[in-house]
């Protein structure tokens, strides 16, 4: 069961987490504010209550994880989110990252390939606070052609290569943030679609994500 109460203790732990993430190099105050406002323990089973504000990834079932807060902050900072931007997220998982984006004013479209994880978020009352998030069950490799183009695309699973269909769903001047690599470690990359349609690729630090897998799992 996911907890629903936010105590002073949780708020205090969240403040400390913000300082930890800041000390590791995150400078975007809007990102830090969102990490400070969103109760991360809500997204984990109550068994994780004591550790929910440690800067670590945790299991969320089905062999998947909620990303480490530093990683969430790192990807979000690279995306340079502005209010009302349309953001496509691949890999809803716990929905924590989706809520961080929504807390920053983005219109979020998030896709999860595992039915159980998708269903879990349907019965998660806290998400009612964020009507700007739309949840989809499907294969993220296909994106959401009906809702494209997007200002930003965020991949929260390790992609062996940059998915071409998702580049197509990116607006001109849009950006994709994606961990690329098929081994146990991936390179964080940012792909920008320039005005002449060309792509600019930037490479950042190494991270370790669960793999982006093709097809849906029922």
| Sites of contact with ligand SAH (CB under 6 A) | 64-67, 90-91, 93-94, 96-97, 111-114, 117, 139-141, 156-157, 210, 212-214
Q: Which of 114, 175 has the CB closer to ligand SAH? A: 114
Smallest gap, in angstroms, from Cβ of residue 19 to ligand SAH?
A: 21
| CA of residue 10 relative to chain centroid, distance | 22
Smallest gap, in angstroms, from Cβ of residue 90 to ligand SAH?
A: 5
Smallest gap, in angstroms, from Cβ of residue 139 to ligand SAH?
A: 5
Q: Which of 13, 38 has the CB closer to ligand SAH? A: 38
Q: How far apart are CA 65 and CA 59, in angstroms?
A: 4
- Residues annotated as catalytic are 67
Q: Which of 69, 174 has the CB closer to ligand SAH? A: 69
| Contact residues for 51 (Cβ-Cβ < 8 A; gap 6+) | 58
Q: Which of 162, 210 has the CB closer to ligand SAH? A: 210
DSSP string, 159-204: BSS--HHHHHTEEEEEEEEEEE-SSSSEEEEEEEE-TTS-EEEEEE
Cα angle for residues 32, 35, 37 (degrees, 5° grid): 110
Q: Which of 117, 189 has the CB closer to ligand SAH? A: 117
Q: What are the phi and psi torsion angles at 164 (to 5°)?
A: -60, -40
Smallest gap, in angstroms, from Cβ of residue 195 to ligand SAH?
A: 29
Of 150, 152, 153, 158, nearest to 188 by C-alpha is 158
Length of the chain as a residue count: 218
Q: What is the DSSP letter of 142?
A: G
Smallest gap, in angstroms, from Cβ of residue 89 to ligand SAH?
A: 6
Q: How far apart are CA 190 and CA 192, in angstroms?
A: 6
């Amino acid at each position: 069961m996911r907890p629903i109460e936010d105590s002073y203790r949780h708020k205090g732990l969240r403040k400390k987490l913000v300082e930890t993430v800041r000390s590791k190099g995150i400078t975007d105050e809007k990102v830090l504010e969102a990490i400070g406002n969103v109760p991360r323990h809500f997204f984990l089973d109550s068994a994780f209550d004591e550790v929910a504000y440690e800067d670590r990834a945790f299991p969320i079932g089905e062999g998947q994880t909620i990303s480490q807060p530093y990683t969430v902050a790192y990807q979000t900072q690279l995306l340079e989110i502005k209010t009302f931007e349309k953001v496509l997220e691949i890999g809803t998982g716990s929905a924590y990252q989706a809520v961080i984006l929504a807390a920053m004013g983005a219109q979020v479209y998030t896709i999860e390939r595992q039915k159980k994880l998708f269903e879990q978020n349907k019965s998660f009352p806290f998400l009612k606070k964020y009507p700007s998030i739309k949840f989809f069950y499907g294969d993220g490799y296909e994106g959401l052609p009906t809702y494209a183009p997007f200002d930003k695309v965020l991949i929260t699973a390790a992609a062996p290569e940059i998915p071409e269909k998702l580049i197509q769903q990116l607006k001109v001047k849009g950006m994709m943030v994606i961990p690329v690599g098929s081994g146990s470690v991936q390179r964080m990359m940012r792909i920008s679609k320039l005005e002449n349609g060309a792509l600019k690729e930037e490479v950042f630090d190494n991270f370790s994500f669960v793999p982006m897998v093709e097809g849906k799992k029922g």
